[in-house]
A = this chain, B = another copy of it.
Amino acid sequence: MSEPVNRPVRVALLGCGTVGTEVVRLLEDQAADLAARVGAPVELAGIAVRRPNRHSGVRQELLTTDSAALVARDDVDVVVEVVGGIEPARSLLLQAIKSGKSVVTANKALLAEDGATLAEAADAAGVDLYYEASVAGAIPLLRPLRESLAGDRITRVAGIVNGTTNFILSAMAASGAGYADALEEATRLGYAEADPTADVDGYDAASKAAILATIAFHTRVTAADVYCEGIRRVTAADIAAADGLGCAIKLLAICERVPGTGGAPESVSARVYPAMIPKTHPLAGVDEAFNAVFVEADAAGQLMFYGQGAGGAPTASAILGDLVAVARNRVGGGRGPRETAYASLPVRPIGDVSTRYHVSLEVADRAGVLSAVAGEFARRGVSIAAVRQTGGGEDAPVQPESAPAGNARLVVVTHGAPDSALHETVEALAELDVVLGVESVLRVEGLGRAVSALGA
């Protein structure tokens, strides 16, 4: 192994929790390999933490509580940020960029809220800004979207990008448990944080959707542009109902290019919600805390990326990949490619996006019910794909004229229609005399072209 002749690339690490600790370990364990790959040693210049006495595993002389002073140091070339949150991360990274330092970050919330500011600052300063670890952990996804597919036209990026919610939904499906019990298990096993809001309410996935849509469609999409529903209201009954239809329920992040029609311009849609997907689709088989993302492009067709979406070591792997790229650029004197935002496509509101609904109603079991319910769908131009009535222990296709009196459950699955029309239909159904309750409303996603291969 020939010795690199270049001066070391020096790294300031902001944060040293689960991910930061793994970054330190990989930098030390692989020092010789990293030096050979970069063409210069990659050295830790310092680590900013809140409580130095809690980090006995790392070299104590590296620790500091003064993040700003560490970022400002002249002997720092690259700042790696694994603290998370908007502030002080944004100020520190902007300070680093403005002083000519390249940045590697895993901070999805910051990128989804204000990635444009960081990107513009990096352009102005001529430094690198990489963030592969912000989406889907170790799975190489942002670099393939930004570079490998740079000559193609991406039409859709859709998948499972939050491990916590996938663990909860998988546990519910496997055991029949309710949401609360499954969340408790996830927390006990370390898959959910003490405050699980960002995960279970979909905000984490929405941040990732914003980042994915921005890169895929060359358009700035922020977290505020992403329609977002979490999994708190998914019940054991919903999952059983999905199962009966040959479907699983997954929390999906969906980023789509929507063709322009009738004078309306081409637009993009970015949304996060739990949805029924066919069990024959490979995403239905992605269990526990794994992530998987499908990408569709005009020339490439359908691609799939699968792996561990979170955890210290997988996230650190993604950070180290970015760090090697940034360090190579420092040594070679170049700058890596970045996403572009030239297309500036409008973001389509959820109400205008075509979706499909699965609606489960408690209804009076008497003649005319189906007619009343179907009328509300028809009135809003929503076409019904399938309808099924269950009640009195029986499970049979609806026969409205011959049904006995009493209560029953009516399940309706629609064809694609504007989400606003579907939403309004459900609100109108709730007002009908014959509808005793709206038990559940779930979207149904076919996820584009059928994937004949993969997944038994």
Residues of A within 8 A of B (CB): 1-2, 22, 26, 30, 33-34, 36-37, 132, 138-140, 143-144, 147-153, 218, 279, 282, 284-288, 290, 292, 297-308, 313-314, 316-325, 328-329, 332-335, 337, 340, 342-343, 452-456
Contact = CB atoms under 8 A, between A and B. Distances in A.
Given A151-B323, A285-B456, A297-B317, 8 more contacts: A37-B151, A138-B297, A138-B300, A147-B321, A150-B325, A290-B454, A302-B307, A304-B304
A139 B299 contact: no
A182 B337 CA distance: 45
11 contacts: A138-B301, A147-B324, A149-B321, A150-B321, A151-B322, A152-B320, A286-B454, A297-B317, A306-B306, A325-B337, A456-B456
Residue with the highest number of chain B CB atoms closer than 10 Å, among A151, A284, A306, A455: A151
B314 A301 contact: yes
What 10 pairs between A and B have smallest CB-CB spacing?
Answer: A151-B320, A334-B334, A140-B148, A138-B300, A140-B144, A299-B317, A150-B324, A303-B307, A300-B317, A304-B306
Given A144-B144, A148-B132, A303-B139, A335 B337 contact: no
Given A36-B342, A218-B36, A151 B455 contact: no
Contacts of A304: 304-307
Contact of A455 (B33, B302, B454): B454
B455 A317 contact: no
A314 B298 CA distance: 9
A189 to B, nearest CB: 15
Contacts of A342: 1-2, 36-37
Contacts of A36: 218, 340, 342-343
Nearest to A138: B300
